[in-house]
Amino acid sequence: MSGLLHIISHTDLDGITAAAVAWHANRTSRWPIKVTLCGYGDVDSLVSYGIDKGEDLMVLDLSCQRQDTVDKLDRDSEGVQLERPIFFDHHASTKEKYGNRTWIRVDTSMCAAKVYYRYLKETGQDGPVSHMEELVEIANDRDLWLGQREESRLWQALITIMSPHGALMRLSSNPSHVMDRMELDAARDFIARQDERFRMALESLDRRGDLALLDDGILEFGDVSDFCGLVLDRMDNPPEVVAVLARRYAGDWAVSLRSRSGLSGRIVSLLKDGRRIRGGGHDDAAAVYFPANFTREQIFSSISTAMMSHRESSQEVGFTLGDLFRGKLG
């Protein structure tokens, strides 16, 4: 590979950890390094632009949403012996669609940061980042919802306080997973205030059948996963899906979806069309992006319709020819 190394990663703890590991692993041999943190709505444009400019792309915890981008990746890597994969991911939808490509490494049993870190270990390149293994395990705990590491919620709080890029700057200058006293105090204070926001959000939750929707402006960045976990795991008679709306700076809508039965990912698959509506993520933690002209009610209706479509397609056929024969024999 040649060209400027461009690391493209997600904005959550997994994505930031992956980007930090990649930065430290390559900074002595591939300087300067370009780093971009983004969501699913931007990754295709960044990848397509990077290919056109001859950048050495490394995409972590994200996957392409448009077929034309995938086609460009296929053409660009056809007949070429890649020094390493371009994409390191862990989402089931990515594995189903692109798992056989040479330009991607995907493992659904761990977070993307751990997928990349394990690749470094297997290829003997982990020396510069061996001290970051505990941070990778914290990100893995958070992203897989294992709930075994208290630090995972504290680190997510720190990302919210500092912003994703601020957290990446901290990990660039200090890659240790151990927070100093000021960081720890700030994270704990944030969690205390976060619990109060959760109380207000629960009071504002719009529950209609199996779908619960929360409007923009109540939660802060980084609140969504913990709040949705509170609703899905601790509420009596919880909904199947929690949707949290956020109006982005460009005017379009980012809707975070959480579930416990794989329904979030299915909703995204049913709604995204690769043009106006995009999305991606896990089976139970996904995001879908609606154009700015959509109203709150249109978003609610679209998600409800997707849930209904999934439910209808999953229903078993009520009476079959086999049932008739068994009845006759009986």
Q: Where are the domains of the chain?
A: 5-146, 198-315
Mean pLDDT of the chain: 89
Q: Report the pLDDT value the prediction gives residue 328, as an integer from 0 to 100.
A: 47
pLDDT-based confidence at residue 181 (cuts at 50, 70, 90)? very high
Res. 317: pLDDT tops 90: no
238-242 mean pLDDT: 94
Of residues 283 and 268, more confidence is placed in: 268
- In order, the DSSP letters of 85-122 are -SEEE--HHHHHHHTT-TTEEE-TTS-HHHHHHHHHHH
Least confident piece of the model among 24-33, 161-170, 260-269: 260-269
237-266 mean pLDDT: 91
Question: Model confidence over 45-80: pLDDT tens digits?
Answer: 999 999 999 999 999 999 887 889 999 999 988 877
What torsion, rounded to 10 degrees, do the Cα atoms 181, 192, 243, 38 define? -20
The 10 Å CB-count burial string (b at 16+, else e) for 206-243 is eeeeebbbbeeebbeebbbbbbbbbbbeeeeebbbbbb
pLDDT-based confidence at residue 2 (cuts at 50, 70, 90)? low
Q: Report the pLDDT value the prediction gives residue 315, as an integer from 0 to 100.
A: 66
User: Hey, what CATH class is 198-315 in?
Assistant: alpha beta
Sorted by sequence, the CB contacts under 8 Å of residue 74 that are 6+ apart come out as 101
pLDDT-based confidence at residue 24 (cuts at 50, 70, 90)? very high
Q: Is 11 left (phi over 0), alpha (psi -120 to 50) or beta?
A: alpha
pLDDT-based confidence at residue 285 (cuts at 50, 70, 90)? confident
304 and 273 Cβ atoms separated by less than 8 Å = no
Q: How far is the C-alpha of 118 from the C-alpha of 104, rounded, in Å?
A: 14
Q: Report the pLDDT value the prediction gives residue 330, as an integer from 0 to 100.
A: 44
Question: Model confidence over 138-161: pLDDT tens digits?
Answer: 999 988 878 789 899 899 899 989
Q: How far is the C-alpha of 3 from the C-alpha of 57, rounded, in Å?
A: 9
Res. 314: pLDDT tops 80: no
pLDDT-based confidence at residue 136 (cuts at 50, 70, 90)? very high
